[in-house]
Amino acid sequence: MSMTPRVLEIRQKVLSKNDEIARALRERLRARGIFTLNLVSSPGSGKTRLLEDTLGRLVARGVRVRALVGDLATDNDALRLARSGAPVKQILTQGRCHLEAEMITQHLEGWDLEACDILFIENVGNLVCPSSYDLGEDVRVALLSVTEGEDKPLKYPAIFNSADIAVVTKVDLADACETDLALLRANLQAIRPGIRVFETSARTGAGLDDWTAYLIEQRNLRARDGAVVD
Amino acid sequence: MSMTPRVLEIRQKVLSKNDEIARALRERLRARGIFTLNLVSSPGSGKTRLLEDTLGRLVARGVRVRALVGDLATDNDALRLARSGAPVKQILTQGRCHLEAEMITQHLEGWDLEACDILFIENVGNLVCPSSYDLGEDVRVALLSVTEGEDKPLKYPAIFNSADIAVVTKVDLADACETDLALLRANLQAIRPGIRVFETSARTGAGLDDWTAYLIEQRNLRARDGAVVD
């Protein structure tokens, strides 16, 4: 975004309109007991891989999950995720660098939201622009791969500061990348004190039980009929 | 960027203004025989590390190099790069997701450009927005770490399509990440047929001799006094 005054003024209007749409969307999703997560990260940090594993685990446990997947181009990610058996839709942004609440509203059309416990939204891979756009989610999840280095929370503070949860990915590569996990944790806490952090590896499965348990706990808290998933 | 018509119209004006400034800047730099590179990539793909090694090697060979480093926050990268002995300036974008030509013009003020052979510009880590902003460079260099996966050229086509050179980084981690380098190369060529690709590892030093030789060759082509660096 450019900050010449006229553009700034118009951007504020766009953001404010996005916030209104996001607010209405959140109320609608919450009224149906849906737990909604917005996954943000750099390109290649493992959002799609985490979602593949997560959808598979949740479907196997009887949780009704759906996913919307944002990309500039290609529907590769939706095809990967659909293998889990969960309903998945690709949102092609046609070059736009982030998802907006209106795109979510549009792509939910035609879906039976009564048959959904958890909605995942995978944002465009971008550590900057998505931080400004509320998508009506309950929680924003910032992923950070150990291969990206310990300093990313400090260098991209807005996205980590606006996140509710951090998922550190590819922890099995920490030694190979000489990544200092204690420093990475400290940098996350410096930018977002108290943030809940899951440390995961898709390859070894580390951390995925805790992550899945958290999602099921959140799903059960919202179950309107009181029927919980074990 | 949001694509409501009024914003789109203003964005086109901003881009057109940026292009004008970039054109003037390129003429100015070329008139002084300076070879200018704009380095773009995801956060954490290794731009700063590649620059650290590159500046060190070029300074040791007597090439006069300078670097401008863009970040949303922190001057960590400028401090790292300054250890090479080369003059370095940090550009803090205050939350903006890319560098613009005007920022380059402003930060060149006060620098003796007669004493510069190669100017490196390290963009903000972002695979989307920097693709739209010409910074007056001679070549745009897109970095891609093997840890990000083979599909990134297909998913972020604008940035790879607008690049003149690709540098694949962290190739020593290809096996650990199960990255298919042949597929990655094929995806780069599919998006930007004929693009020159350097495959590098900061840890093992692989590919850095070729990369440095390319830079020196470009420097020598532009040497106004005919004095070449070996």
A1 neighbors B1 (Cβ within 8 angstroms): yes
Say if residue A1's pLDDT is above 60: no
Exposed / middle / buried, residue B9 (Cβ in 10 Å: 0-12, 13-18, 19+): exposed
Q: What interface predicted TM-score (ipTM) does this complex get?
A: 0.89
Say if residue A224's pLDDT is above 80: no
Q: Which residues of A touch B (CB under 8 A)?
A: 1-4, 6-7, 10-11, 14, 18, 42-45, 71-74, 76-77, 95-97, 100, 124-129, 145, 147-149, 151-152, 154-158, 170, 173, 176-177
Say if residue B56's pLDDT is above 70: yes
Nearest chain B Cα distance for residue A16, angstroms: 12
Q: Do B96 and A3 touch (CB under 8 A)?
A: yes
Q: Do B96 and A156 touch (CB under 8 A)?
A: no
Band of pLDDT at residue B5, cut at 50, 70 and 90: low
Q: Where are the beta strands (DSSP E) in chain A?
A: 35-40, 65-71, 88-92, 118-122, 139-145, 165-169, 196-199
Q: What is the mean pLDDT of residues A64-91?
A: 96
Q: What is the pLDDT of residue A4?
A: 58
**Torsion, CA A176, CA B195, CA B51, CA B121, rounded to 10:** -140
Chain A residues near residue B96 by CB distance under 8 angstroms: 1-3
H/E element holding B48?
A: helix B47-60
* pLDDT per position as a tens digit, A2-22: 445 666 677 777 779 999 999
Q: What is the pLDDT of residue A5?
A: 64
Q: For B43, which of A4, A155, A177 is closest by C-beta distance? A: A155
Q: Do B152 and A10 touch (CB under 8 A)?
A: no
- Reported for A201-205, long-range contacts at CB under 8 A and 24+ positions apart, including other chains, are A201/A169, A201/A170, A201/A171, A201/A172, A201/A173, A202/A46, A202/A49, A202/A50, A202/A52, A202/A53, A202/A169, A202/A170, A203/A170, A203/A172, A204/A172, A205/A53
Nearest chain A Cα distance for residue B183, angstroms: 15
Crossing angle for the helix pair B208-222 and B47-60, nearest 10 degrees? 60
Q: What is the pLDDT of residue B14?
A: 76
Q: What is the pLDDT of residue A2?
A: 45
Instruction: Give the separation between CA B28 and CA B6, rounded to whole angstroms.
Output: 34
* pLDDT per position as a tens digit, B109-168: 999 999 999 999 999 999 999 999 999 999 999 999 999 999 999 999 999 999 999 999
* pLDDT per position as a tens digit, B65-117: 999 999 999 999 999 999 999 999 999 998 899 999 999 999 999 999 999 99
Q: Do A7 and B3 touch (CB under 8 A)?
A: no
Q: Do A96 and B3 touch (CB under 8 A)?
A: yes
Q: Do A155 and B1 touch (CB under 8 A)?
A: no
* pTM, full prediction: 0.92
What residue of A is the nearest CA neighbor of B153? A73
- What mean pLDDT value characterizes chain A? 94
Band of pLDDT at residue A200, cut at 50, 70 and 90: very high
| Least-confidence region, from A106-115, A135-144, B1-10, B116-125 | B1-10
Q: What is the pLDDT of residue B1?
A: 42
- What mean pLDDT value characterizes chain B? 94
The total of other beta-carbon atoms located within 10 Å of residue B216's CB is 21
A176 neighbors B173 (Cβ within 8 angstroms): yes
Q: What is the pLDDT of residue B2?
A: 46
Nearest chain B Cα distance for residue A220, angstroms: 34
Nearest chain A Cα distance for residue B211, angstroms: 22
**Torsion, CA A97, CA A102, CA A107, CA A110, rounded to 10:** 180
Band of pLDDT at residue B4, cut at 50, 70 and 90: low
Crossing angle for the helix pair B5-31 and B101-108, nearest 10 degrees? 40
A166 neighbors A132 (Cβ within 8 angstroms): no
pLDDT over 90 for what percent of chain B? 89
Exposed / middle / buried, residue B154 (Cβ in 10 Å: 0-12, 13-18, 19+): middle
* pLDDT per position as a tens digit, A17-56: 999 999 999 999 999 999 999 999 999 999 999 999 999 9
pLDDT over 90 for what percent of chain A? 89
Chain A residues near residue B10 by CB distance under 8 angstroms: 6-7, 10
Q: What is the pLDDT of residue B7?
A: 66
Q: Which residues of B touch A (CB under 8 A)?
A: 1-4, 6-7, 10-11, 14, 18, 42-45, 71-74, 76-77, 95-97, 100, 124-129, 145, 147-149, 151-152, 154-158, 170, 173, 176-177
